[in-house]
A and B are shown apart, each in its own frame.
Chain A
Amino acid sequence: EVKLVESGAEVKKPGESLKISCKASGYSFTNYWIGWVRQTPGKGLEWVGIIYPGDPETRYSPSFQGQVTISVDNSITTAYLQWSSLKASDTAMYYCVRPFLPDVIYAFDVWGQGTMVTVSS
């Protein structure tokens, strides 16, 4: 079974750093892009960015470029999303996602359960 299992909910203060994770299983990790989608009540679903573990090549939405870093550890088939200095506006649910075909950035047929990140003083 193909699965993406994300790390648990986080509560942080503005200015703090954070790294959340997504453990992939059930498929060839290095053959599929793996990415992140943000969901907020106000802005709906937003694509954050994506990484190809086989390279690794990374692409970011311009809205998130420079604000977050996406990385992978192929030895443990895990993707990460990290912030160096959180803002209150980073408060959201973050989903780990995988496209429905290998080697391309297409629609997402596999979603993690989501990691809720709350940033508040």
Chain B
Amino acid sequence: DVVMTQSPDSLAVSLGERATINCKSSQSILYMSNNKKYLSWYQQKPGQPPKLLIYWASIRESGVPDRFSGSGSGTDFTLTISSLQAEDVAVYYCQQYYHTPLTFGGGTKVEIK
């Protein structure tokens, strides 16, 4: 299985400041034939199911604010919230969909400092 390792487990950021979450895969999830990275990011707020934010490592889902951005290489990926808002308090998960079984990172809890 592809192991997804997120860091940090939690972080506290001041309103308006940048939040950065890292995700590392145990093997490359870059598919050479189409040059796509099979990596997605989700946001989960309390009492709600996860919500897809980003797919193909950097493509924002429709309706997702542009303060959310994703980047990365074949094994190392980053989710950045450029200016944290109160409504961004949540747990964020990365997921690879290159191989089955699909696997998720352990999650990063983002709070307001």
Q: Are B49 and A105 in contact (CB under 8 A)?
A: no
Chain B residues near A50: list those with CB within 8 A: 100
B49 touches A112 (CB 8 A): yes
Which residues of chain A are near B106, meaning CB under 8 Å? 44
B4 CB to nearest chain A CB (Å): 10
Give chain B's interface secondary structure class.
loop
How many residues does chain B have at the interface if contact means C-beta atoms less than 8 Å apart?
20
Q: How many residues of A are counted as interface, with CB atoms below 8 angstroms from the partner's CB atoms?
A: 22
Task: Given A47-B101, A105-B100, answer yes or no on A100-B49 (Cβ-Cβ < 8 Å).
Answer: no
Min C-beta distance of B38 to chain A, whole Å: 8
- Tell me if A107 and B50 are in contact (CB < 8 A): no
Complex interface: chain B residues within 8 A of A103 (CB): none
A residues less than 8 Å from B100 (CB atoms): 47, 50, 59, 61, 105
Q: Give the contacts of A9-24 with B (CB-CB under 8 A).
A: none
Does A113 sit at the interface, judged by CB under 8 A? yes
Out of A45, A109, A112, name the residue touching B61 (CB < 8 Å). A109
Chain B residues with CB under 8 A of A45:
50, 93, 95, 104, 107
